[in-house]
Amino acid sequence: MRNQQATKLIFELSRPGRRAAVLDPPDLPVPEASDCLPAEHLADGPPPLPELAEGDVVRHFVNLSTQNMSVDTHFYPLGSCTMKYNPKRNERLASLPGFAAVHPLQDEATTQGWLRVLYELQQMLGEISGLPGVSLQPAAGAHGELTALMVAAAHFRQRGEARDIVLTADSAHGTNPASAAMVGYETRTVVSGPDGLVDVDDLRAKLDDRVAVFMLTNPNTLGLFDSRIREITSMVHDRGGLIYLDGANMNAILGIVRPGDFGADLMHYNPHKTFSGPHGGGGPGAGPICVREDLARFLPRPIVRRDGDRYFWDEEGEDSIGRVRSFFGNQGILLRAFAYLRTYGGDGLRQVSEDAVLGANYLLSRVRHILDVPHGERCMHEFVATAARLKKERGLSAMDLAKRILDFGFHAPTVYFPLVVEEAVMIEPTETESKETLDAFAEALFRVTEEAVDLVKDAPHTTRISRPDDVAASRRPVIRWTP
Ligand SMILES: *Cc1c(COP(=O)(O)O)cnc(C)c1O
């Protein structure tokens, strides 16, 4: 079943002199390379590329492509990552030569269509967030966090305030404290109460005039909307601090509530999550940020602006923190987001979020009979179960469940995040899955919890490799092939 050819590197399959195609020698005079280029710029010989027949090259890559799971092949309930279906039409649009072949240094007069797309995307993101200042530059969500904190730092510097602390929630994504540390802030953690929401008393105790920003995720990583959000944001504002919204969970609230209306001052979007851009495997994402009107002057430049019918890159801005990326951002993913937003429109986006919440609650109502779900009777677009009882009673951990579910043809949920839940199993189905898929997943999960312990502990049994040493894979990765 396992294809041996597919385990080999393409370099190992190479045989000297083997060719994909054999062409007749040209019957036109061919100039010597040394007649065209100075000798010091010529290579000593051909590059050491693998030599294979065309069929073997095709098989090699097609087989490799089947060794992983993707949203196109499997249900992918990876909590916090919003692995929704990626409409193929958006892929086709992004590969149109008029978009894909544009050079970033091309004259603006020749890229008016592109600039209009980006301008209108800025407008839409500003509208959905209720925060009108928009920069499309950051290259990922984490980069958006970093950029927005640099904007916040510029704001306090200009006011002459020496604030040096960023508060993060204990259920936050690890990028929140990491971004704060990169901007030079000390971080303090605000704990969650037993209900999984921000413990307002703990926030009050940790809030003082040194606090620059409170970074929060709402709905939070437990899939719960913080019912005291207005009180929380007012408390921070009253002490002169800013609220940063980690927008990774926007899929739950599109067109329903605007972060700017509940008190966020700055936020990022993850268009590769919320707006269906393909992601995973380290591929390009984007992390556009939106800020309150009075903070917009600190945003990175350039920003696309409109003057009558003409669109242009505005590089001006004395207070700007400067560029955070070469050229204009990951435009391919931004174009897909634009196409997604225009396809759904306002009412459609609201429907996206309502369906995401409905799907998650349906699955929650089934999973509750299999695993404990410690926080919340209902959820937003995702929920966090725990395998703690299963571990105590049968010795099966969240990791064992995650590994075994692969054999049933499902990607694993997120495990061991957020840290506030022991043996966490974080499930986010997204709105693009059918009831039948959700039922099949719940049934597979139930079966795994009932199976023989040894069978589950040795899983997965059907994948290319079974259980790699994940510490060694991260600390001592072998990423270079040596002949
Ligand atoms: C994904 C995610 C991030 C980071 O976003 P990237 O685009 O992966 O850099 C931050 N916070 C939360 C809650 C996330 O789920």
Q: Is the CB of 250 under 6 A from ligand 1?
A: no
Mean per-residue pLDDT, 207-233? 98
One domain for residues 108 and 212: yes
Residue 4, pLDDT > 70, answer: no
Residue 182 domain flag: yes
Provide φ and ψ at 46, rounded to 5°: -70, 155
d(CA 37, CA 30): 14
- From ligand 1's centre to the CA of 231, what distance in Å? 25
Residue 3 pLDDT > 50: no
Q: Cβ(394)–Cβ(472) under 8 Å?
A: no
CATH number at residue 297: 3.40.640.10
Instruction: Choose one of 320, 344, 368: the last residue of a domain.
Output: 344
Pocket test for ligand 1, best of 82, 83, 170, 173 (most atoms within 8 A of CB): 173
How far apart CA 305 and CA 327 sit, in angstroms, is 16
Tell me, using a 6 A CB cutoff, whether residue 141 lines ligand 1. yes
Helix (H, G, I), strand (E, B) or coil at 313: strand
The pLDDT-based confidence of 473 (bands split at 50, 70, 90) is confident
Does 168 sit in the ligand 1 pocket, CB within 6 Å? no
Strands 211-217 and 165-169: parallel
**One domain for residues 243 and 323:** yes
- Residue 325 located in a structural domain: yes
Are the CB atoms for 380 and 252 separated by under 8 Å? yes
Instruction: Give the number of residues written for the chain.
Output: 483
Distance of CA 129 to the CA centre of its chain: 18
Q: Is 77 part of a structural domain of the chain?
A: no
pLDDT in tens, 406-450: 999 999 999 999 999 999 999 999 999 999 999 999 999 999 999
175 shares a domain with 46: no
1 pLDDT tier (thresholds 50, 70, 90): very low
Which pLDDT belongs to residue 6?
A: 55
pLDDT tens digits, 283-292: 689 999 999 9
The answer to whether residues 429 and 313 belong to one domain is: no
What is the pLDDT averaged over residues 52-69? 91
Alpha carbon distances (Å) from 241 to 164, 233, 236, 266: 11, 9, 5, 12
User: How many domains is the chain built from?
Assistant: 3
Query: Coil, strand or helix: which one is 237?
Result: helix
Same domain membership, residue 325 and residue 184: yes
State whether the beta carbon of 285 lies less than 6 angstroms from ligand 1. Answer: yes
Mean pLDDT of 325-338: 94
The answer to whether residue 157 is domain-embedded is: yes
| In a domain? residue 307 | yes
Pairing of strands 186-190, 165-169: parallel
| 112 and 261, same domain (yes or no) | yes
What percent of the chain is modeled with pLDDT above 90?
86
* Residue 41 sits in the same domain as residue 141: no
314 in the same domain as 220: yes
Q: Give pLDDT tens digits for 239-262.
A: 999 999 999 999 999 999 999 999
Assigned domain for 376 exists: yes
Which residue range is the domain that position 296 belongs to? Answer: 89-344
Report the CATH number that the domain containing residue 360 is assigned in CATH.
Answer: 3.90.1150.10
Residue indicated by tokens 């087989």: 63
Please indicate, yes or no, whether residues 446 and 379 belong to a single structural domain of this protein. yes
Look at residue 120 in the predicted model and tell me its pLDDT. Answer: 98
Distance (angstroms) between ligand 1 centre and the Cα of 273 equals 9
Which of 297, 319, 344 terminates a domain? The answer is: 344
Same domain for 460 and 317, yes or no, is: no
Across 360-387, average pLDDT: 97
Q: Is 80 in the pocket of ligand 1 (CB under 6 A)?
A: yes
> Last residue of some domain: 303, 328, 344?
344
71, part of any domain:
no
| Same-domain pairing of 14 and 131 | no
Would you say residue 130 lies in a domain? yes
Beta-carbon count within 10 A of 459 CB: 22
Distance CA 222, CA 377 (A): 12
Do 165 and 40 have their domain in common? no
Q: What is the mean pLDDT of residues 138-158?
A: 98
User: From the CB of 267, is ligand 1 less than 6 Å away?
Assistant: no
Q: Which of 84, 143, 246 should be mutated for ligand 1, with most atoms under 8 A from CB?
A: 246
In the reported structure, the alpha carbon of residue 247 is separated from the centroid of ligand 1 by a whole-number distance in angstroms of 8
Q: How would you classify the pairing of strands 310-314 and 414-415?
A: unpaired
How far is residue 116's CA from residue 273's CA, in Å, rounded to a whole number? 23
Select the highest-mean-pLDDT range: 28-42, 131-145, 458-472.
131-145
